[in-house]
């Protein structure tokens, strides 16, 4: 998003959908794109660039992908209980520009996000990871996708 590399814990990912359609919902928050029917289940689609106030690309059409997250029930026992209890009970998808790769990350590779991170609300950020040639911002997923 906006030329930055963002990451999420792979344990939170249910699946990644390419070439999908969704239906807009009137009166939803600006960052809620709409709803998608995923094999009979409704998925709320969240646009994190809108949520974080990150300028989108040059306006040209880009292929978008959707990372569908696991629900709180699907996460039971696989992630810390603090994360599991904060995840939504319904399916939520994150609208993304690109899918990079899985980067194995140890706790020792992470640092707290800087206070001046492009004006983003710090509650959306979990950590920053130093990769070989760039930095990856790891999102606090439960906060980022909460629709309050």
- 70-129 pLDDT, tens digit per residue, is 988 888 877 777 777 788 889 999 998 888 788 888 888 888 887 766 667 788 888 899
Note the pLDDT of residue 63: 65
Domain count of the fold of the chain: 1
SS3 label, residue 91: strand
At 128, list the tokens: 């920053």
Longest dimension (CA), the chain: 44
Q: Residue 128: which CATH number? A: 2.40.50.180
Asked if the structure places residue 123 within a domain, the reply is: yes
Mean pLDDT of the residues in the chain:
84
Please give the Cα distance from 104 to 89 (Å, whole number).
27
Confidence of residue 62 (pLDDT cuts 50, 70, 90): low
Please give the Cα distance from 100 to 36 (Å, whole number).
23
Range of the domain at 115: 6-145
Say whether pLDDT at 60 is over 60: no
Phi-psi label, residue 53: left if phi above 0, alpha if psi -120 to 50, beta otherwise = left
Asked if the structure places residue 128 within a domain, the reply is: yes
pTM for this predicted structure: 0.83
Asked if the structure places residue 1 within a domain, the reply is: no
Judge whether 66 and 95 are in contact, CB under 8 Å.
Answer: yes
What percent of the chain has pLDDT above 90?
Answer: 28
Please give the Cα distance from 10 to 42 (Å, whole number).
22
Please give the Cα distance from 46 to 40 (Å, whole number).
19
**Residues in a beta bridge with 135:** 130
* 127 C-beta neighbours (distance < 10 Å), count: 17
Q: Give the dihedral sign, CA 74/137/95/32.
A: positive
Asked if the structure places residue 129 within a domain, the reply is: yes
Asked if the structure places residue 82 within a domain, the reply is: yes
């Amino acid at each position: 998003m906006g030329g930055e590399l963002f990451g999420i814990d792979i344990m939170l990912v249910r699946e990644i959908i390419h070439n999908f359609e969704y239906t807009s919902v009137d009166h939803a928050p600006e960052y809620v794109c709409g709803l998608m029917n995923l094999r009979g289940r409704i998925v709320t689609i969240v646009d994190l660039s809108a949520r974080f106030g990150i300028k989108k690309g040059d306006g040209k059409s880009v292929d978008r992908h959707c990372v569908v997250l696991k629900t709180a029930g699907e996460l039971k026992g696989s992630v810390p209980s603090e994360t599991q209890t904060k995840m939504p009970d319904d399916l939520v998808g994150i609208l993304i520009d690109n899918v990079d790769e899985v980067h194995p990350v140890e706790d020792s590779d992470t640092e707290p996000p800087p206070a001046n991170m492009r004006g983003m609300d710090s509650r959306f950020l979990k950590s920053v990871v130093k990769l070989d040639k760039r930095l990856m911002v790891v999102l606090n997923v439960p906060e980022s996708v909460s629709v309050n």
